[in-house]
């Protein structure tokens, strides 16, 4: 059985790392290369960089960012934002990315998912789905046009799986930046429908929330952004919490996970 992956998600806007709150408000917190260097040297399984400006501005992926990132990155790197063509994927992979994350282009042109998976392999293609709670239940959120779509996240995820996506990144708009934890019900509604892995994202405010995503939500990978920026030894603490909760994670021989103690807020001391 595959181990649960821990993935820091680096959200970028105007080439700066930002904290995101409900996909609406953003707080600049640093530069991309510094963030990459930090995560790459600590205990994570993958790094994800998402450029939230690219699709809104109608531009291609920022390959320059990947060129800089890979200088300090020694673990798998997934890149998303502005990917519309096979040439875009080629440019990102040639720059050093290991996988790509599609969002708007996958919804508008499902054949692009199929062609991308055929050329680069299913394992290379992640599709990101943004979900929002409505009076009619969970729906897919169109970030670029700021509107609710008719499809549920589960319906869209099933389609993307059939088109060839290798995994789904499931973002909760409502929980984004809230520190309330993953929307477990949302996760369950999608993970129960798929055979491919689902990455949980949105809302982590305590490292125990990561365990909830895996054990209760059924996610095969847990991602977070904001919490990793403000907690000392954050990635190691995250793995320690997952381990203590019974989640099967990859462990580093250089880290003594059981030596970590935590305060009431889950912060290591």
- How many alpha carbons lie under 13 Å from residue 155 in its C-beta half-sphere? 10
Crossing angle of helices 110-120 and 153-163, in 10° steps, is: 40
**What is the C-alpha separation between 219 and 152, in angstroms, rounded?**
18
Q: Which residues partner with 159 through β-bridges?
A: none
Selection from 5, 53, 23, 20 nearest residue 229 by Cα: 20
Tell me which residues are annotated as active site: 130
Helices (H), the chain: 32-40, 54-57, 63-69, 86-95, 104-108, 110-120, 153-163, 184-191, 208-215, 226-229, 234-244
* Residue in the structure block whose two tokens are 């708007």: 104
């Amino acid at each position: 059985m595959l181990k649960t992956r821990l993935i820091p998600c680096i959200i970028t806007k105007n080439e700066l790392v930002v904290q995101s709150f409900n996909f609406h408000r953003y707080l600049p917190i640093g530069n991309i290369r510094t963030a990459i260097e930090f995560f790459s040297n600590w205990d994570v399984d993958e790094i994800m960089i998402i450029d939230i400006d690219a699709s809104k501005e109608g531009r291609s992926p920022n390959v320059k960012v990947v060129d800089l990132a890979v200088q300090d990155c020694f673990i798998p790197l997934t890149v998303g934002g502005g990917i519309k063509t096979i040439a875009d994927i080629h440019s990102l992979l040639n720059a050093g990315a290991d996988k790509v994350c599609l969002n708007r282009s996958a919804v508008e042109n499902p054949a692009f998912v199929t062609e991308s998976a055929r050329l680069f392999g299913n394992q290379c293609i992640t599709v990101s789905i943004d979900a929002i709670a409505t009076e009619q239940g969970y729906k897919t959120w169109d970030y670029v046009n700021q509107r609710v779509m008719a499809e549920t996240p589960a319906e869209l995820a099933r389609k993307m799986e059939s088109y060839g996506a290798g995994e789904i990144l499931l973002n909760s708009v409502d929980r984004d930046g809230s520190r309330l934890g993953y929307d477990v019900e949302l996760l369950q509604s999608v993970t129960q429908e798929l055979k491919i892995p689902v990455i949980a994202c949105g809302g982590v405010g305590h490292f125990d929330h990561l365990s909830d995503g895996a054990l209760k939500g059924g996610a095969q990978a847990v991602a977070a952004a904001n919490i990793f920026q403000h907690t000392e030894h954050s990635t190691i603490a995250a793995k320690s919490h997952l381990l203590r909760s019974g989640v099967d994670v990859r462990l580093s021989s250089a880290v003594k996970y059981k030596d970590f103690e935590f305060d009431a807020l889950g912060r290591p001391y």
